[in-house]
Structure 1
Amino acid sequence: MSEPISHDAAYENPPASAHTSQDQSPASRRRAADAEMARVLHTTPFRMALDASGAGIAHWKHEPLHDVVEPMSHHVIMAYNGSTQHMERRSGRSVATGTFRRGVVIIIPEGSSSRWDIPKPVDVVQLYLPHATLKRVADEAVTGTLTDLLERTAHPDPITSRLLLSTVSALEGNGALDSLFRHQLIDLLAMRLLAAHTGSPTTFQPTIGGLSPKVLARAIERLRSDSDADVSLDSLASDAGLSRFHFCRAFKESTGLSPHAWLRQHRLEQAMNLLRDTDTSIAMVAAELGYASQTAFAAAFRRLSGETPSDWRRRMR
């Protein structure tokens, strides 16, 4: 992640207008990012998690690309996870070149279009970010006026790259946990984009302090609920009377954990109680806690405890 990054110096930070074709058609005619990527990449994603708005994360492994990416209705941010290779991004006679490797990001702003020539297979994680989400985060978190995202071609940004690539291993096959993690991550990445990839400096609002004891107790009660609707970030923030941005910061100030980390720890404790105190099968424990499969549950349990559920149960009995 911290290794040097090679760039064609003339094109390390070219202005968007130098090599981007801006779509002038109504936004309603643009494809959603996942649909346009499926069209141009001629494959299906290795993994994808989307919201109704189209916001989400997709992990693609695809063959060399020599095609035009048409205007999309989302900003698309990519973190590269493959072997180092040179690539070219072209609009008309303007060309941007760069080197794909871990630690760089690619940004395709909403509505832009360009031709891509990538000679080798690609392993990439993509964020699909509606402009409405970026604006909401800016309204909640930023002091100042939202400006457009800059186009980036293999641009060095290890922080954004690491955050985005972390989703590959962090999604656990649990609906409530994965949704909460995804929403927190999308907001965090939107903040990072506002800080590092717009045309003007960004100042974030200061932390407002923790939640009141009453509001914290109500939030924890929701997080302990079996209803996925109760533990959604929107529901938690709305019930607390705060924006998503301020709720997450205040919750962490009060507990030392993000809402997702708190819920993940709570689910682990529930699993341990069931494994230690009952004869419930591991498959039934997985189902009761909302995991898509026993395999997904076992992988999540091992990441947190260092042991498989069956090994932990044998040791504790």
Structure 2
Amino acid sequence: MADVIIDSVASGRARDRLRILGWLRLQDNGFHLLTLSAALAVLLILGGVIASLAIGSVPAFKAFGLGFLTAQAWNPVTEKFGALPAIYGTLATSAVAMIFAVPIGLGIAVFLTELCPYPLRRPIGIAIELLAGIPSIIYGIWGLFVFAPFLQRTVQPALIGAFANVPVLSSLFGGPPYGIGILTAGFILAIMVLPFITSISRDVFETVPAVLKESAYACGCTTWEVVRAIVIPYTRIGVIGGVMLALGRALGETMAVTFVIGNSHRISDSLLAPGATIASSIANEFTEAVGDLYTSALIALGLILFLMTFIILAIARYLLMRLERQAGR
């Protein structure tokens, strides 16, 4: 009798265990399907965006061919459109932004992780991160009414005078000081992408094992030597990833650039001259686009911006993969 009772209890426990395992397996399968659906949804949305841009840009490429990429004319009246000034402005403003933002962002990250007194690290870090929460239109308004006049009165005349007799720089910083222009847009973009570079770099710098830095200090290394020989090499993959994220933001920024770049569809040798970017051109003219060809030209600009961003980020990802393989060796 006792054996029967024991067998009954054991079989009941086995059934409960099987039921629990079945429920857990069902939850795991449901979670797997949920995450797979989310990933596929992202791919479908991305494919839909690409397809809509490609279809919408067909009339422009039919009318102008690949010459649309190299033409400089942008005249809605005669329906002559070229993307080269907008492409140049996009690349130029992003390059200016990264030239200023990368060293400043890395310097702030090094200061916060290696040199800053501990009680000040959190307040300074929060202040830097708050820059990312400011709407881009606020940056644009501030840039137009405060920053651009300041540059026009002080910085741009100083640059024009300092480089007036230097062969290459005289044309790069030549012309009248408009205040607005490619250089101003680049400065605004640098301020906007600075939080991304600083935050990501600070986070990856904090992952460096303390024993590595303490060993270097024990050997007599200075702080600069520790940062150059230990911190940067150990975290270079994360730092490059943060820089590429900031570059993607700079390439696609719209409203802030629209306020301060001048929105002139021409290519100038001077960084002080007005220009245009792909994003600012679309924002300025899409509501005024009359006719299928005008609208298609703007959509084609959007497709070009998408492809530019994709190519740059793909190159960055390839470089990161090479760095990972080299680190594995």
Q: TM-score per shorter chain, which class?
A: under 0.3
Larger relative contact order (CA 8 Å, sep ≥ 6):
2
Higher strand share: 1
Higher-Rg structure is 2
TM-score (norm 2): 0.23
